């Protein structure tokens, strides 16, 4: 049993954290439930959530899941998805973040399977977002995987999309129009450009470090002991674009609460569920730490990590001329 993150003693713990409820009630603003997602979802009112965002178990045999045949895995998820569609508001969005399930070396991209499940229930795909990162295991019999996807669906055609909240600086803001009535005027949007459907958000740096440089394991400021945590920043972009303040955000597989913190950071109400009580305890501690200003969070849009020092240099053994390599 690992002790949950604790940043203060009970005596000195005084803060403005709103009450964290175990079950949803009208009037609550943070709910963190420990138990089975399907059973919990059945207790939530229809049309409540403006944004449902999650990274479900991938059926890859992590410590919190038992691997089963892909069809069995998907049929369990269908029941959950039925409930999620019921809970989603008419103007709402579902963001479903997944990677690959691998069996005997063969890859099954989970988004391909999930697409049909959502489409069959009337949802409309708005983007298939590529979340790209630069770290992870190095494969020997296929190319190393360096992205996962987020399927963004809406329930209808009238949905919230606040593009201005998530614009990013353009590389060339000084560009000017060459023709037409705007000739000579700056051609870009002064608020920045659309961030596109490829997102470079650092995450698995910590996974790599666990294997290769154990002493810098904690280099990512958000890392907890959860084996498949996603970055708060990834969720923040969805929250900013797809919700308004005071909306409800739901994560049915919330792990250590990354989605909940992203929602709270932008003044939304949040509901999370995870079957592992230990993760829910950590999620609660992180929420309290967020309200007391003690939660380490990688700031949104911080520059990507640039390797420095020893680990970024070409090994001396390769410089002898005996080893063929691409570094000059
Ligand atoms: C990919 S992780 C999500 C991690 C989360 N996004 C975070 O940043 O911490 C999937 C989570 O689903 C939980 N889980 C698996 N099966 C579940 C079920 N039937 N009901 C509720 N939670 C479940 C696992 O315990 C795990 O924490």
Ligand 1 in reach of 229 Cβ (< 6 A):
yes
Instruction: Calculate how far, in angstroms, residue 64's C-alpha sits from the geometric centre of ligand 1.
Output: 7
Range of lowest pLDDT (10-14, 60-64, 273-277, 279-283): 10-14
Residue to mutate, 31, 35, 57, ligand 1, most ligand atoms under 8 Å from C-beta: 57
Handedness of CA 314, 316, 322, 323 (dihedral sign): negative
Instruction: Calculate how far, in angstroms, residue 327's C-alpha sits from the geometric centre of ligand 1.
Output: 41
Q: What is the pLDDT of residue 212?
A: 33
Task: Give per-residue burial for 100-133: e unless 16+ CB within 10 Å, then b.
Answer: bbeeeeeeeebbebbbebbeebebeebeebebeb
Range of lowest pLDDT (29-43, 59-73, 80-94, 112-126): 59-73
pTM: 0.86
With pLDDT > 90 as the criterion, what percentage of the chain qualifies? 57
Nearest to 89 by CA among 45, 49, 124, 44: 49
User: In this predicted model, what pLDDT tens digit does every residue of 141-178 receive, in sequence order?
Assistant: 999 998 999 999 999 999 999 999 999 888 887 788 88
214 vs 131, higher pLDDT: 131
Backbone angles phi, psi at 286, to 5 degrees: -65, -35
Does an H or E element contain 280, and which?
helix 277-291
Does an H or E element contain 126, and which?
strand 124-132
Looking at ligand 1, which residue's alpha carbon is closest to its atom 5?
255
Ligand 1 in reach of 129 Cβ (< 6 A):
no
Q: What mean pLDDT comes out for the span 252-272?
A: 97
Instruction: Calculate how far, in angstroms, residue 51's C-alpha sits from the geometric centre of ligand 1.
Output: 17
Ligand 1 in reach of 278 Cβ (< 6 A):
no
Query: What is the token pair recorded at 92?
Result: 């709402």
Looking at ligand 1, which residue's alpha carbon is closest to its atom 15?
57
Q: What is the pLDDT of residue 298?
A: 72
How many angstroms separate the CA atoms of 28 and 217, rounded? 36
Task: Give per-residue burial for 27-60: e unless 16+ CB within 10 Å, then b.
Answer: ebbbbbbbeebbebbeebeeebbbbbbbbbbbbe
How many angstroms separate the CA atoms of 278 and 285, rounded? 11
Ligand 1 in reach of 280 Cβ (< 6 A):
no
| Cβ-Cβ contacts under 8 Å for 143 (sequence gap 6 or more) | none
How many angstroms separate the CA atoms of 31 and 5, rounded? 19
Residue to mutate, 64, 131, 258, ligand 1, most ligand atoms under 8 Å from C-beta: 64
Residue 38 in 3-state DSSP? helix
Q: What mean pLDDT comes out for the span 70-98?
A: 97
Ligand 1 in reach of 289 Cβ (< 6 A):
no
Instruction: Calculate how far, in angstroms, residue 217's C-alpha sits from the geometric centre of ligand 1.
Output: 22
Ligand 1 in reach of 301 Cβ (< 6 A):
no
Cβ 167 vs Cβ 190: under 8 Å: no
User: Which domains does the chain show, CATH number per domain?
Assistant: 10-320 (3.40.50.150)
Query: What is the token pair recorded at 63?
Result: 């410590």
Residue 112 in 3-state DSSP? helix
In the predicted model, is pLDDT for residue 208 greater than 50?
A: no
Cβ 4 vs Cβ 281: under 8 Å: yes
């Amino acid at each position: 049993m690992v002790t949950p993150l604790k940043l203060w003693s009970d005596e000195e713990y005084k803060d403005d954290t709103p009450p964290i409820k175990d079950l949803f009630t009208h009037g609550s603003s943070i709910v963190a439930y420990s138990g089975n997602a399907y059973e919990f979802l059945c207790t939530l009112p229809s049309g409540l959530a403006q944004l449902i965002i999650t990274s479900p178990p991938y059926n890859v045999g992590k410590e919190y899941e038992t691997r089963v045949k892909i069809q069995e895995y998907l049929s369990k998820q269908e029941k959950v998805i039925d409930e999620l569609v019921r809970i989603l508001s008419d103007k709402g969005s579902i963001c479903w973040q997944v990677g690959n399930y691998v069996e005997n070396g063969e890859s099954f991209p989970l988004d391909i399977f999930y697409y049909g499940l959502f489409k069959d229930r009337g949802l409309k795909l708005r983007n298939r977002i590529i979340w790209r990162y630069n770290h992870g295991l190095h494969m020997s019999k296929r190319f190393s995987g360096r992205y996962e996807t987020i399927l963004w669906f809406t329930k209808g055609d009238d949905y919230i999309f606040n593009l201005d909240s998530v614009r990013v600086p353009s590389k060339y803001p000084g560009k000017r129009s060459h023709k037409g009535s705007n000739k000579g005027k700056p051609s870009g949007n002064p608020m920045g450009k659309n961030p596109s459907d490829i997102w470079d958000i650092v995450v698995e740096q910590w996974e790599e470090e666990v294997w290769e440089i154990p002493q810098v394991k904690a280099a990512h400021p958000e890392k907890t002991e959860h084996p498949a945590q996603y970055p708060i920043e990834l969720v923040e972009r969805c929250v900013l674009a797809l919700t308004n303040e005071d909306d409800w955000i739901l994560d049915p597989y919330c792990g250590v609460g990354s989605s909940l913190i992203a929602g709270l950071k932008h003044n939304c109400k949040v509901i999370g569920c995870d079957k592992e009580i230990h993760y829910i305890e950590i999620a609660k501690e992180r929420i309290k730490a967020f309200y007391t200003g003690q939660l380490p969070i990688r700031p949104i849009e911080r520059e990507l990590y640039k390797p420095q020092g020893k680990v970024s240099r070409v090994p001396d053994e390769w410089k002898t001329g005996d080893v063929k390599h691409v570094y000059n």
